[in-house]
């Protein structure tokens, strides 16, 4: 899932302890669990019968979508939700972008409440302040379906209908496999992790470490560096390259940070350092298409995630019990499958610049 700015600054002590050798804190389970340890249900198991579809169509429901930011990922999710709602005669009355600002999201919620939407889809920027911001909307009667983050103290079936997110452990495993493919069985890598208390990125980063440790024990992580501001990707990577000139690859926790990593490799004249990251983005896709530094990208299915969120919202309005925690699948992207992976994940063709570069 794409993250563009960071709100929280708290230290992820898991990684600090890992750096000191306390590997027992690496996620041990080989599956993605919900924020409260919920068992994950595949998104393919969330569906509406024809009778339920007809019921929803007759209700003239409305919906609002409150996003954390704007990106290729967010746009695909919103498109998926809108298309599903349209097929069910649910009017989307608003789509907002909080610009990763909890205060702006609070204002967005207050604005949306005046429209009294029947269904709210939201990625909550800050679980603590978000709980206070979204509770009035829930009390007003809107059914809340969450993307990834759970507001503090919210209870399934009472305060929210369900959560949909990525199969985070699967994403970590795929990233580890892509790293191994890029550097070989005994490569040396720099590992940049998200230095903030943020469920999605923390789970993904931990899963990468777990799978590297378990499946590729001879790959050496020569340095781990936390990042709290996505704009620091280039500076952190430049320092890594200077301090550890023998590294073969750098892992970045999401696409905008990877853009900074790529800039650092270019500035250092290091075409040999491979970059592996999460989430599709145009800049990194173009670098990959040109055969430069980006060797692997892990993508989820944001369009399908959006459709699943819409289905869960519709079901919750009908009073149907839905799972607390639902996940969509992920896949690895290399230059060989970049065009098809972009289409599958985002449900549109890759940018023309990427298509042209792939043709060369």
Helices (H), the chain: 13-19, 50-59, 72-87, 102-113, 127-140, 168-183, 199-215, 233-243, 255-267, 282-289, 302-317, 338-346, 352-359
Maximum CA pair distance of the chain? 64
Burial environment of residue 181 by CB neighbours within 10 A (0 to 12, 13 to 18, 19 or more): middle
Task: With a cut of 90, say whether residue 242 has pLDDT above it.
Answer: yes
Q: In the predicted model, is pLDDT for residue 155 greater than 70?
A: yes
Q: What is the distance between the alpha carbons of residues 152 and 358, in angstroms, rounded to a whole number?
A: 45
Instruction: CATH number for 41-165+302-328: choose from 3.50.50.60, 3.40.50.300, 3.30.930.10, 3.40.50.2300.
Output: 3.40.50.2300
pLDDT by residue (tens digit) across 164-208? 999 999 999 999 999 999 999 899 999 999 998 778 889 999 999
The Cα–Cα gap between 183 and 163 comes to: 36
Q: How confident is the model at residue 29 (pLDDT cuts 50, 70, 90)?
A: low
Q: Where in the chain is the domain with CATH 3.40.50.2300?
A: 13-30+168-299+333-359, 41-165+302-328
How do residues 86-132 score in pLDDT, each as one tens digit? 999 999 999 999 988 999 999 999 999 999 999 999 999 889 999 99
Over residues 12-40, the mean pLDDT reads: 54
Radius of gyration of the chain (CA): 20
- What is the pTM (predicted TM-score) of this model? 0.86
Task: Please provide residue 120's backbone torsions phi and psi, each rounded to the nearest 5 degrees.
Answer: -120, 125
312 burial (CB, 10 Å; 0-12 / 13-18 / 19+) is buried
Residue 150 CA, chain-centre distance (Å), reads 14
CATH architecture of 13-30+168-299+333-359: 3-Layer(aba) Sandwich (3.40)
């Amino acid at each position: 899932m794409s993250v563009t700015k960071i709100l929280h600054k708290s230290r992820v002590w898991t990684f600090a302890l890992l750096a000191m050798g306390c590997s027992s804190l690496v996620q041990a389970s080989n599956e993605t669990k919900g924020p409260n340890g919920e068992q994950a249900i595949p998104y393919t198991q969330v569906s509406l019968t024809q009778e339920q579809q007809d019921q929803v169509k007759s209700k003239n429901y409305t919906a609002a979508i409150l996003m954390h930011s704007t990106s290729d990922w967010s746009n695909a999710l919103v498109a998926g939700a809108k298309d599903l709602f349209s097929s069910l005669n649910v009017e989307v009355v608003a789509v907002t972008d909080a610009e990763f600002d909890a205060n702006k999201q609070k204002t967005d919620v207050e604005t949306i409440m005046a429209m009294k939407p029947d269904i709210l889809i939201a990625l909550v920027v800050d679980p603590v302040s978000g709980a206070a911001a979204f509770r009035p909307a829930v009390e007003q009667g809107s059914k809340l379906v969450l993307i990834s983050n759970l507001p503090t103290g919210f209870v399934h079936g009472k305060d929210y209908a369900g959560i949909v997110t990525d199969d985070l452990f699967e994403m970590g495993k795929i990233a580890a496999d892509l790293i191994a493919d890029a550097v070989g069985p005994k490569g040396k890598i720099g590992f940049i992790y998200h230095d903030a208390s943020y469920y999605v990125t923390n789970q993904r980063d931990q899963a990468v470490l777990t799978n590297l440790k378990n499946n590729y024990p001879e790959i050496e992580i020569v340095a781990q560096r936390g990042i709290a501001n996505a704009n620091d990707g280039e500076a952190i990577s430049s320092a890594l390259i200077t301090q550890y000139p023998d590294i073969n690859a750098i892992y970045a926790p999401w696409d905008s940070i990877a853009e900074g990593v790529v800039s650092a490799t270019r500035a250092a004249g290091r075409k040999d350092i491979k970059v592996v990251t999460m989430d599709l983005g145009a800049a990194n896709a173009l670098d990959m298409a040109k055969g430069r530094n980006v060797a692997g990208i892990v993508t989820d299915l944001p369009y399908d995630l959006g459709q699943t969120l819409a289905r869960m919202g519709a079901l919750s309005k009908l009073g149907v019990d839905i799972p607390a925690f639902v996940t969509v699948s992920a896949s690895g992207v290399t230059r060989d499958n970049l065009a098809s992976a972009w289409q599958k994940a985002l449900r549109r063709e890759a940018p023309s610049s990427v298509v042209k570069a792939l043709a060369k």
